[in-house]
Structure 1
């Protein structure tokens, strides 16, 4: 997919949510280009964010390739749109997939500038493998929830129902963060899930749940907001909810290191934090 050419956080939340729902049905594959047409509506960016996103007054240009965990894809597209308006000579290209799949792409030498997985362990692996430039930065946090299709026709009540063989249950695969965190959280509560499907990333799982192909699944709180017309959160017991942390890092061999550094700085601005909040994420 080419660059995203419109700002987003500064527009109405309703427009942004509608856009997110349209994009949620896309199948997310590692390093695959995004489907065309998923652009947010235009708006003006905050002047303070323009200043904080600049790099010593230098003009940024060229392509910027950002790899993000599937759960971050819609909000990162929105933030990238705003970033591009501040740096019109930069074309942001975003690939979203399971964090482990993206990690392996980077380790195999795939060209990329910024890596934002859903678990800091993947950043550490990349740092020890191909290296990162500077220190990683925490840009957002998320949490897991038990979710059901709107209407909850199967009558799911609690996480314990994930063990019921009569229900169609979905989890993320154990090698991706949403699956690993879910299993760890359930294990701590002595719940043994009986999944009928184990999806390669959380967006694929949320899409199946929203389509009514599953009775229940463990997804992120942000996915419920993105699919609010199709799925409902039943929450997670207070004090036992696994927390997910997203660290952003510039890769050591980034083809466009200057734009990569500016983009990570932009992820920490008020505009970007507002977008994260609108999409259901917590910020540092």
Structure 2
């Protein structure tokens, strides 16, 4: 068990509120909670869901991760969801305009994109310019998802026109191909590069790395609004901050 989760387990038996995000009478919340998160957040969101359930034994948190644009369309189509955490706040704008939000979104973590290669780096990739080499197998996220949009924006600012061989629907899919050696290089989130041993993070060799923020919000039609609000509060706690940092994200 991760250190922060071990510490949380010790706190879970207490009933008074602390900066771990527990609410007064932590066992009072109950029922199901549906949380939709950007694919890059899935591992840490699942860990945090476990932590939230430790604090609230009556809760069962279901976390689903996918590309933010796909999740946005699910929400707009009426799929059941209580909390939405995309990788770009632009996706919250569409939800706000069409069905509304139950409260103001809050930033829970930050991330940036990096140039990444398989650990062996047999292609000898060293710079962003290598993404324009036609003989290499290059991967990006699709342009409509945040990791793809952010990568393209950063590459355009660096004067690089990439020649991707694949546009993946989410960053987890892209990372899987890169780690398997199916690609010579890709632009992924720093958090993903940090979480996979078979990937080498080359940073962003062109000045400041493009950055995104993850904003969490309770949806207007949440089926468990009280638990949803408590979960968003938990995402702002010291416990959650430690978890985000353990997974390669930066604090808000």
TM-score for the superposition, normalised by structure 2: 0.93
* Paired residues for 1:81-96 under 5 Å: 81-96=50-65
1:223 to 184, 188, 192: 192
In 2: Cα distance, 1:8 partner to 1:88 partner: 20
CA displacement at 1:9 relative to structure 2: 3.0
CA distance in 1, matches of 2:27, 2:100: 25
Instruction: Note if 1:233 corresponds to 2:228.
Output: no
Q: Deviations over 1:201-240 (max 9, x none)?
A: 000000000000000000000001110x200011103643
Task: Extract unaligned runs of 5+ from structure 2.
Answer: none
The CA deviation string for residues 116-157 of structure 1, in whole angstroms up to 9 with x for no partner, is 000011111111111111100000000000000002111001
Residues 257-266 or 121-130, more deviating: 121-130
Q: Is the Cα contact below 8 Å between 1:7 and 1:85 reproduced in 2?
A: no
In structure 2, do the counterparts of structure 1 residues 104 and 8 end up closer, same or farther at CA, with 3 Å as the change threshold?
farther
Aligned match for 1:105, one of 74, 78, 81: 74
Q: Compared with structure 1, are the counterparts of its residues 169 and 53 closer, same or farther at alpha carbon in structure 2 (3 Å cutoff)?
A: same
SS at match of 1:44: helix
Q: Tell me, yes or no, if structure 1 residue 69 matches structure 2 residue 38.
A: yes
CA RMSD between the two structures: 1.9
Structure 1: which 4+ aligned runs deviate by more than 6 Å? 55-58
- Distance of 1:255 and 1:59 partners within structure 2: 17
SS at match of 2:131: helix
Separation in 2 of the partners of 1:180 and 1:258? 34
Counterpart among 144, 148, 161 of residue 179 in structure 1 = 148
Gaps of 5+ in 1: 1-5, 13-41
**Tell me, what secondary structure is at the counterpart of 2:125?**
coil
